[in-house]
Structure 1
Amino acid sequence: MTSQISPDASSRPRGAETRRRAQKVALELFTRQGYEATSLREIADELGINKASLYYYFASKEAILQSLFDERGTEAADLLVWLGEQPRSPRLLEEAVLRWVDSFSSEKLAAIRFMTANPLVLRGLADSTGDRVGAPLNDLVDELAGLLPERADGDVVLLRMAILSINAAVQAAAQTDAADAEIVAAARRAARALIAEIGAAR
Protein backbone atom coordinates (compact mmCIF):
# COMPACT_ATOMS: atom_id res chain seq x y z
CA MET A 1 0.00 0.00 0.00
CA THR A 2 1.42 3.38 -0.99
CA SER A 3 2.12 5.66 1.94
CA GLN A 4 0.51 9.05 1.52
CA ILE A 5 2.55 11.84 3.02
CA SER A 6 0.63 15.03 3.58
CA PRO A 7 2.20 18.39 2.90
CA ASP A 8 3.38 20.33 5.94
CA ALA A 9 0.82 22.37 7.86
CA SER A 10 1.82 25.67 6.28
CA SER A 11 0.97 24.36 2.81
CA ARG A 12 -2.43 22.89 3.64
CA PRO A 13 -4.45 26.07 3.05
CA ARG A 14 -3.13 25.95 -0.50
CA GLY A 15 -4.13 22.32 -0.98
CA ALA A 16 -6.96 23.02 -3.42
CA GLU A 17 -4.70 25.31 -5.44
CA THR A 18 -1.95 22.68 -5.59
CA ARG A 19 -4.44 20.04 -6.68
CA ARG A 20 -5.74 22.31 -9.44
CA ARG A 21 -2.20 23.14 -10.57
CA ALA A 22 -1.36 19.43 -10.66
CA GLN A 23 -4.31 18.81 -12.98
CA LYS A 24 -3.28 21.69 -15.22
CA VAL A 25 0.40 20.71 -15.37
CA ALA A 26 -0.43 17.06 -15.98
CA LEU A 27 -2.72 17.92 -18.88
CA GLU A 28 -0.06 20.16 -20.40
CA LEU A 29 2.56 17.39 -20.16
CA PHE A 30 0.16 14.68 -21.37
CA THR A 31 -0.74 16.81 -24.39
CA ARG A 32 2.82 17.94 -25.17
CA GLN A 33 4.76 14.70 -24.77
CA GLY A 34 2.10 12.00 -24.55
CA TYR A 35 0.26 10.32 -21.70
CA GLU A 36 2.37 7.16 -21.61
CA ALA A 37 5.62 9.12 -21.79
CA THR A 38 4.75 11.30 -18.79
CA SER A 39 5.56 10.14 -15.27
CA LEU A 40 4.28 11.32 -11.90
CA ARG A 41 7.83 12.39 -11.08
CA GLU A 42 7.87 14.73 -14.10
CA ILE A 43 4.56 16.22 -13.01
CA ALA A 44 5.90 16.73 -9.49
CA ASP A 45 9.12 18.30 -10.81
CA GLU A 46 7.12 20.70 -12.97
CA LEU A 47 5.05 21.65 -9.93
CA GLY A 48 8.16 22.18 -7.81
CA ILE A 49 7.18 19.58 -5.21
CA ASN A 50 8.47 16.11 -4.44
CA LYS A 51 6.74 12.96 -5.66
CA ALA A 52 5.60 12.00 -2.16
CA SER A 53 3.73 15.30 -1.85
CA LEU A 54 2.05 14.73 -5.21
CA TYR A 55 0.91 11.31 -3.94
CA TYR A 56 -1.05 13.13 -1.24
CA TYR A 57 -3.29 14.54 -3.99
CA PHE A 58 -3.13 11.86 -6.69
CA ALA A 59 -1.97 8.26 -6.40
CA SER A 60 -1.51 7.83 -10.16
CA LYS A 61 -1.80 9.46 -13.57
CA GLU A 62 -5.13 7.69 -13.95
CA ALA A 63 -6.35 9.37 -10.76
CA ILE A 64 -5.57 12.78 -12.24
CA LEU A 65 -7.62 12.05 -15.35
CA GLN A 66 -10.42 10.53 -13.29
CA SER A 67 -10.58 13.65 -11.13
CA LEU A 68 -11.25 15.72 -14.25
CA PHE A 69 -14.06 13.37 -15.32
CA ASP A 70 -15.53 13.44 -11.84
CA GLU A 71 -15.58 17.24 -11.80
CA ARG A 72 -17.36 17.44 -15.13
CA GLY A 73 -19.88 14.85 -14.00
CA THR A 74 -20.46 16.73 -10.76
CA GLU A 75 -20.93 20.01 -12.63
CA ALA A 76 -23.49 18.39 -14.93
CA ALA A 77 -25.33 17.01 -11.89
CA ASP A 78 -25.19 20.44 -10.20
CA LEU A 79 -26.68 22.05 -13.30
CA LEU A 80 -29.44 19.45 -13.23
CA VAL A 81 -30.22 20.41 -9.61
CA TRP A 82 -30.22 24.11 -10.55
CA LEU A 83 -32.57 23.39 -13.43
CA GLY A 84 -35.00 21.64 -11.13
CA GLU A 85 -35.12 24.72 -8.89
CA GLN A 86 -36.00 27.18 -11.67
CA PRO A 87 -39.51 28.30 -12.63
CA ARG A 88 -40.39 27.11 -16.11
CA SER A 89 -40.10 29.85 -18.71
CA PRO A 90 -39.59 30.10 -22.49
CA ARG A 91 -35.94 31.12 -21.98
CA LEU A 92 -34.99 28.42 -19.46
CA LEU A 93 -33.78 25.94 -22.10
CA GLU A 94 -31.35 28.45 -23.62
CA GLU A 95 -30.23 29.72 -20.22
CA ALA A 96 -29.40 26.21 -18.99
CA VAL A 97 -27.42 25.31 -22.13
CA LEU A 98 -25.45 28.57 -21.99
CA ARG A 99 -24.67 28.03 -18.29
CA TRP A 100 -23.06 24.74 -19.30
CA VAL A 101 -21.06 26.29 -22.15
CA ASP A 102 -19.93 29.20 -19.97
CA SER A 103 -18.64 26.83 -17.27
CA PHE A 104 -15.64 25.89 -19.42
CA SER A 105 -12.38 27.45 -18.24
CA SER A 106 -9.04 27.23 -20.05
CA GLU A 107 -8.18 24.10 -18.07
CA LYS A 108 -11.44 22.42 -19.08
CA LEU A 109 -10.84 23.29 -22.72
CA ALA A 110 -7.39 21.72 -22.38
CA ALA A 111 -9.08 18.58 -21.06
CA ILE A 112 -11.31 18.43 -24.14
CA ARG A 113 -8.24 18.76 -26.36
CA PHE A 114 -6.54 15.91 -24.52
CA MET A 115 -9.65 13.71 -24.71
CA THR A 116 -9.95 14.32 -28.44
CA ALA A 117 -6.30 13.43 -29.02
CA ASN A 118 -6.29 10.34 -26.75
CA PRO A 119 -9.49 8.34 -27.30
CA LEU A 120 -7.88 4.99 -26.40
CA VAL A 121 -6.65 6.28 -23.03
CA LEU A 122 -10.11 7.58 -22.24
CA ARG A 123 -11.82 4.41 -23.37
CA GLY A 124 -9.65 2.36 -21.05
CA LEU A 125 -10.35 4.71 -18.18
CA ALA A 126 -14.11 4.61 -18.81
CA ASP A 127 -14.04 0.78 -18.98
CA SER A 128 -12.33 0.56 -15.59
CA THR A 129 -14.24 3.26 -13.70
CA GLY A 130 -17.56 3.71 -15.49
CA ASP A 131 -19.01 6.63 -17.41
CA ARG A 132 -18.77 9.48 -14.88
CA VAL A 133 -19.51 12.27 -17.37
CA GLY A 134 -21.81 10.77 -19.99
CA ALA A 135 -24.48 9.57 -17.57
CA PRO A 136 -25.03 12.97 -15.87
CA LEU A 137 -25.00 14.67 -19.28
CA ASN A 138 -27.61 12.23 -20.56
CA ASP A 139 -29.74 12.98 -17.50
CA LEU A 140 -29.33 16.70 -18.18
CA VAL A 141 -30.40 16.32 -21.81
CA ASP A 142 -33.42 14.26 -20.73
CA GLU A 143 -34.47 16.97 -18.27
CA LEU A 144 -33.96 19.73 -20.84
CA ALA A 145 -35.92 17.75 -23.42
CA GLY A 146 -38.80 17.82 -20.97
CA LEU A 147 -38.99 21.58 -21.53
CA LEU A 148 -39.87 21.04 -25.20
CA PRO A 149 -43.58 21.29 -26.08
CA GLU A 150 -43.17 18.11 -28.11
CA ARG A 151 -40.24 15.74 -27.72
CA ALA A 152 -39.39 15.02 -31.35
CA ASP A 153 -36.23 12.97 -31.93
CA GLY A 154 -34.82 15.64 -34.24
CA ASP A 155 -35.21 18.29 -31.55
CA VAL A 156 -33.44 16.11 -28.99
CA VAL A 157 -30.55 15.70 -31.44
CA LEU A 158 -30.34 19.50 -31.85
CA LEU A 159 -30.45 19.88 -28.07
CA ARG A 160 -27.60 17.42 -27.60
CA MET A 161 -25.63 19.26 -30.30
CA ALA A 162 -26.16 22.50 -28.36
CA ILE A 163 -24.80 20.93 -25.16
CA LEU A 164 -21.80 19.59 -27.08
CA SER A 165 -21.19 22.84 -28.96
CA ILE A 166 -18.16 23.53 -26.73
CA ASN A 167 -16.56 20.23 -27.79
CA ALA A 168 -17.20 21.01 -31.45
CA ALA A 169 -15.78 24.52 -31.06
CA VAL A 170 -12.56 23.21 -29.51
CA GLN A 171 -12.06 20.74 -32.35
CA ALA A 172 -12.92 23.31 -35.03
CA ALA A 173 -10.40 25.76 -33.54
CA ALA A 174 -7.55 23.23 -33.56
CA GLN A 175 -6.00 24.64 -36.74
CA THR A 176 -6.51 28.30 -35.79
CA ASP A 177 -5.01 30.77 -33.35
CA ALA A 178 -8.34 31.36 -31.62
CA ALA A 179 -8.02 32.24 -27.93
CA ASP A 180 -9.97 30.26 -25.35
CA ALA A 181 -12.38 33.15 -24.83
CA GLU A 182 -13.09 33.21 -28.58
CA ILE A 183 -13.73 29.46 -28.57
CA VAL A 184 -16.27 29.76 -25.74
CA ALA A 185 -17.91 32.72 -27.50
CA ALA A 186 -18.20 30.70 -30.72
CA ALA A 187 -19.72 27.79 -28.79
CA ARG A 188 -22.27 30.17 -27.27
CA ARG A 189 -23.27 31.44 -30.71
CA ALA A 190 -23.62 27.90 -32.01
CA ALA A 191 -25.65 26.79 -28.98
CA ARG A 192 -28.00 29.75 -29.26
CA ALA A 193 -28.49 29.12 -32.98
CA LEU A 194 -29.33 25.47 -32.33
CA ILE A 195 -31.82 26.32 -29.58
CA ALA A 196 -33.39 28.92 -31.89
CA GLU A 197 -33.65 26.28 -34.61
CA ILE A 198 -35.60 24.04 -32.24
CA GLY A 199 -38.06 26.90 -31.73
CA ALA A 200 -38.21 27.71 -35.43
CA ALA A 201 -39.16 24.15 -36.25
CA ARG A 202 -42.42 24.49 -34.29
Structure 2
Amino acid sequence: MNSLNKKETSRERSIKRLTSAAFELFVVRGYHATSLEAISSEAGLTKGSVYFYFGSKENLILHMFDVLKSDLVDILVEALKEERGTYIDRIIRYIHRGADFGAKRPNELLFMIQIAIEFARQDNTIASAVKELYNEIHDAVEGVIKEAQNSGALSNELEPRSFASMIVAVHDGMMLEWHLRGKQISGPALVKNVRHMLLNGIK
Protein backbone atom coordinates (compact mmCIF):
# COMPACT_ATOMS: atom_id res chain seq x y z
CA MET A 1 0.00 0.00 0.00
CA ASN A 2 1.51 3.32 -1.05
CA SER A 3 1.55 6.44 1.13
CA LEU A 4 -1.41 7.97 -0.73
CA ASN A 5 -3.57 4.91 -0.09
CA LYS A 6 -2.47 4.84 3.54
CA LYS A 7 -3.51 8.47 3.94
CA GLU A 8 -6.90 7.81 2.34
CA THR A 9 -7.48 4.74 4.53
CA SER A 10 -6.53 6.72 7.64
CA ARG A 11 -8.85 9.55 6.58
CA GLU A 12 -11.79 7.20 6.01
CA ARG A 13 -11.16 5.47 9.34
CA SER A 14 -11.06 8.79 11.21
CA ILE A 15 -14.23 10.06 9.54
CA LYS A 16 -16.02 6.82 10.42
CA ARG A 17 -14.92 7.07 14.08
CA LEU A 18 -16.03 10.70 14.31
CA THR A 19 -19.37 9.94 12.68
CA SER A 20 -20.02 6.99 15.00
CA ALA A 21 -19.15 9.12 18.04
CA ALA A 22 -21.45 11.90 16.81
CA PHE A 23 -24.39 9.51 16.37
CA GLU A 24 -23.95 8.28 19.94
CA LEU A 25 -23.45 11.68 21.59
CA PHE A 26 -26.25 13.42 19.69
CA VAL A 27 -28.65 10.69 20.86
CA VAL A 28 -27.45 10.76 24.48
CA ARG A 29 -26.90 14.51 24.93
CA GLY A 30 -28.82 16.13 22.09
CA TYR A 31 -27.53 18.11 19.14
CA HIS A 32 -27.13 21.50 20.82
CA ALA A 33 -25.52 20.13 23.99
CA THR A 34 -22.84 18.21 22.10
CA SER A 35 -19.65 20.05 21.21
CA LEU A 36 -17.27 19.13 18.42
CA GLU A 37 -14.55 18.75 21.04
CA ALA A 38 -16.66 16.13 22.84
CA ILE A 39 -17.10 14.22 19.59
CA SER A 40 -13.34 14.23 18.93
CA SER A 41 -12.69 13.01 22.46
CA GLU A 42 -15.32 10.25 22.19
CA ALA A 43 -13.75 9.13 18.91
CA GLY A 44 -10.32 9.01 20.54
CA LEU A 45 -8.92 11.60 18.14
CA THR A 46 -7.28 14.97 18.57
CA LYS A 47 -9.33 18.01 19.42
CA GLY A 48 -8.92 19.53 15.99
CA SER A 49 -9.70 16.41 13.97
CA VAL A 50 -13.42 17.05 13.63
CA TYR A 51 -12.71 20.63 12.51
CA PHE A 52 -10.15 19.34 10.02
CA TYR A 53 -12.51 16.83 8.41
CA PHE A 54 -15.81 18.70 8.65
CA GLY A 55 -15.14 22.33 9.56
CA SER A 56 -18.42 22.79 11.44
CA LYS A 57 -21.14 20.92 13.30
CA GLU A 58 -23.56 21.58 10.43
CA ASN A 59 -21.23 19.96 7.90
CA LEU A 60 -20.83 16.98 10.20
CA ILE A 61 -24.57 16.48 10.58
CA LEU A 62 -25.09 16.79 6.82
CA HIS A 63 -22.50 14.05 6.37
CA MET A 64 -24.45 11.95 8.88
CA PHE A 65 -27.57 12.45 6.77
CA ASP A 66 -25.62 11.17 3.74
CA VAL A 67 -24.80 8.02 5.75
CA LEU A 68 -28.46 7.60 6.69
CA LYS A 69 -29.53 8.12 3.08
CA SER A 70 -27.34 5.35 1.71
CA ASP A 71 -27.46 2.90 4.63
CA LEU A 72 -31.07 3.27 5.80
CA VAL A 73 -33.44 5.40 3.72
CA ASP A 74 -32.48 3.85 0.37
CA ILE A 75 -32.96 0.38 1.86
CA LEU A 76 -36.39 1.25 3.29
CA VAL A 77 -37.52 2.79 0.01
CA GLU A 78 -36.25 -0.26 -1.88
CA ALA A 79 -38.28 -2.52 0.43
CA LEU A 80 -41.42 -0.56 -0.40
CA LYS A 81 -40.82 -0.34 -4.14
CA GLU A 82 -39.85 -3.99 -4.56
CA GLU A 83 -42.80 -5.48 -6.44
CA ARG A 84 -42.86 -8.78 -4.60
CA GLY A 85 -45.91 -9.88 -2.64
CA THR A 86 -48.96 -7.84 -1.77
CA TYR A 87 -48.99 -4.22 -0.69
CA ILE A 88 -49.23 -5.46 2.91
CA ASP A 89 -46.11 -7.59 2.37
CA ARG A 90 -44.23 -4.52 1.14
CA ILE A 91 -45.22 -2.45 4.18
CA ILE A 92 -44.32 -5.30 6.53
CA ARG A 93 -40.97 -5.62 4.73
CA TYR A 94 -40.37 -1.90 5.38
CA ILE A 95 -41.12 -2.41 9.10
CA HIS A 96 -38.78 -5.40 9.29
CA ARG A 97 -35.88 -3.72 7.52
CA GLY A 98 -36.18 -0.69 9.76
CA ALA A 99 -36.20 -2.95 12.82
CA ASP A 100 -33.18 -4.89 11.57
CA PHE A 101 -31.25 -1.66 11.07
CA GLY A 102 -32.36 -0.38 14.49
CA ALA A 103 -31.19 -3.58 16.17
CA LYS A 104 -27.73 -3.34 14.60
CA ARG A 105 -27.26 0.45 14.57
CA PRO A 106 -29.73 1.92 17.08
CA ASN A 107 -27.98 5.26 17.52
CA GLU A 108 -28.31 6.08 13.84
CA LEU A 109 -32.02 5.36 13.59
CA LEU A 110 -32.74 7.12 16.88
CA PHE A 111 -30.66 10.09 15.73
CA MET A 112 -32.78 10.48 12.60
CA ILE A 113 -36.02 10.38 14.61
CA GLN A 114 -34.66 12.70 17.29
CA ILE A 115 -33.34 15.30 14.84
CA ALA A 116 -36.63 15.23 12.94
CA ILE A 117 -38.46 16.10 16.16
CA GLU A 118 -35.92 18.70 17.27
CA PHE A 119 -35.86 20.57 13.94
CA ALA A 120 -39.46 19.96 12.83
CA ARG A 121 -40.53 23.60 13.01
CA GLN A 122 -37.27 25.24 12.08
CA ASP A 123 -36.31 26.72 8.75
CA ASN A 124 -32.65 25.94 8.10
CA THR A 125 -30.36 23.57 6.22
CA ILE A 126 -30.55 20.81 8.83
CA ALA A 127 -34.36 20.93 8.97
CA SER A 128 -34.57 20.79 5.18
CA ALA A 129 -32.13 17.87 4.98
CA VAL A 130 -33.92 15.67 7.53
CA LYS A 131 -37.31 16.48 5.99
CA GLU A 132 -35.94 15.41 2.63
CA LEU A 133 -35.00 12.01 4.08
CA TYR A 134 -38.45 11.55 5.58
CA ASN A 135 -40.15 12.77 2.40
CA GLU A 136 -38.48 9.95 0.46
CA ILE A 137 -39.90 7.40 2.89
CA HIS A 138 -43.36 9.01 3.01
CA ASP A 139 -43.54 9.19 -0.80
CA ALA A 140 -42.60 5.50 -1.12
CA VAL A 141 -45.21 4.40 1.45
CA GLU A 142 -47.82 6.62 -0.18
CA GLY A 143 -46.96 5.11 -3.56
CA VAL A 144 -47.67 1.60 -2.24
CA ILE A 145 -51.00 2.75 -0.82
CA LYS A 146 -52.07 4.38 -4.08
CA GLU A 147 -51.12 1.24 -6.01
CA ALA A 148 -53.25 -0.81 -3.62
CA GLN A 149 -56.20 1.55 -4.06
CA ASN A 150 -55.88 1.53 -7.85
CA SER A 151 -55.94 -2.27 -7.86
CA GLY A 152 -58.96 -2.40 -5.56
CA ALA A 153 -57.02 -4.06 -2.75
CA LEU A 154 -57.48 -1.08 -0.42
CA SER A 155 -60.44 1.20 0.14
CA ASN A 156 -60.42 4.54 -1.68
CA GLU A 157 -62.01 6.08 1.39
CA LEU A 158 -58.55 6.21 2.99
CA GLU A 159 -56.56 9.38 2.29
CA PRO A 160 -53.14 8.10 1.05
CA ARG A 161 -50.95 10.84 2.54
CA SER A 162 -52.30 10.65 6.08
CA PHE A 163 -52.40 6.84 5.92
CA ALA A 164 -48.73 6.83 4.88
CA SER A 165 -47.94 9.13 7.82
CA MET A 166 -49.61 6.64 10.15
CA ILE A 167 -47.43 3.80 8.82
CA VAL A 168 -44.24 5.85 9.26
CA ALA A 169 -45.37 6.89 12.76
CA VAL A 170 -45.91 3.23 13.70
CA HIS A 171 -42.39 2.39 12.51
CA ASP A 172 -40.71 5.27 14.37
CA GLY A 173 -42.86 4.80 17.46
CA MET A 174 -41.88 1.12 17.57
CA MET A 175 -38.19 2.06 17.55
CA LEU A 176 -38.64 4.70 20.26
CA GLU A 177 -40.54 2.25 22.45
CA TRP A 178 -37.84 -0.37 21.94
CA HIS A 179 -35.22 2.20 22.97
CA LEU A 180 -37.15 3.35 26.04
CA ARG A 181 -38.18 -0.08 27.30
CA GLY A 182 -35.52 -2.33 25.81
CA LYS A 183 -34.81 -4.04 29.12
CA GLN A 184 -38.48 -4.76 29.78
CA ILE A 185 -39.66 -5.97 26.38
CA SER A 186 -38.37 -8.22 23.63
CA GLY A 187 -37.48 -6.41 20.41
CA PRO A 188 -38.49 -9.31 18.14
CA ALA A 189 -41.76 -9.71 20.06
CA LEU A 190 -42.48 -5.99 19.63
CA VAL A 191 -41.90 -6.24 15.88
CA LYS A 192 -44.12 -9.32 15.74
CA ASN A 193 -46.93 -7.48 17.51
CA VAL A 194 -46.57 -4.46 15.23
CA ARG A 195 -46.77 -6.81 12.23
CA HIS A 196 -49.89 -8.44 13.71
CA MET A 197 -51.52 -5.05 14.25
CA LEU A 198 -50.72 -3.89 10.74
CA LEU A 199 -51.93 -7.10 9.13
CA ASN A 200 -55.24 -7.10 10.97
CA GLY A 201 -55.68 -3.34 11.06
CA ILE A 202 -54.96 -2.78 7.37
CA LYS A 203 -57.26 -5.66 6.39
TM-score scaled by length of structure 1: 0.68
**Superposed displacement of residue 138, structure 1:** 1.8
Alpha-carbon displacement from aligned partner over 1:43-96 (angstroms, at most 9, x marks no partner): 112212224433454232222322333333443344434544534546334224
Equivalent in 20, 39, 43 of residue 16 of structure 2: 20
Query: In 1, Cα distance between the equivalents of 2:65 and 2:177?
Result: 22
Aligned to 2:199: 195
What CA RMSD, in Å, does the superposition of the two structures yield over aligned residues? Answer: 3.8
Equivalent residue of 1:71, what SS? helix
Q: Which runs of 5+ in 1 are unaligned?
A: 1-6
Query: In 1, Cα distance between the equivalents of 2:6 and 2:20?
Result: 22
Alpha-carbon displacement from aligned partner over 1:128-150 (angstroms, at most 9, x marks no partner): 65722122012111222134223
Aligned to 1:3: none
> What residue identity is the alignment partner of 1:94?
I
1:47-66 correspondence runs (5 A): 47-66=43-62
Equivalent in 79, 83, 86 of residue 83 of structure 2: 86
Query: What percent of counterpart residues are identical?
Result: 19
Q: Mean alpha-carbon deviation: is it higher for 39-48 or for 119-128?
A: 119-128
Q: Does the 8 Å CA contact 2:58/2:126 hold for their aligned counterparts?
A: no
Equivalent residue of 1:20, what SS? helix
**Superposed displacement of residue 17, structure 1:** 4.6
**Superposed displacement of residue 8, structure 1:** 7.8
Q: Following TM superposition, where does structure 1 have runs of at least 4 consecutive aligned residues deviating by more than 6 angstroms?
A: none
Q: Mean alpha-carbon deviation: is it higher for 185-194 or for 82-91?
A: 82-91
TM-score scaled by length of structure 2: 0.68
Q: Which runs of 5+ in 2 are unaligned?
A: none
1:21-40 correspondence runs (5 A): 21-40=17-36
- What is the aligned length? 191
Alpha-carbon displacement from aligned partner over 1:92-112 (angstroms, at most 9, x marks no partner): 342243223323222224415
Q: Which has the higher helix share?
A: 2
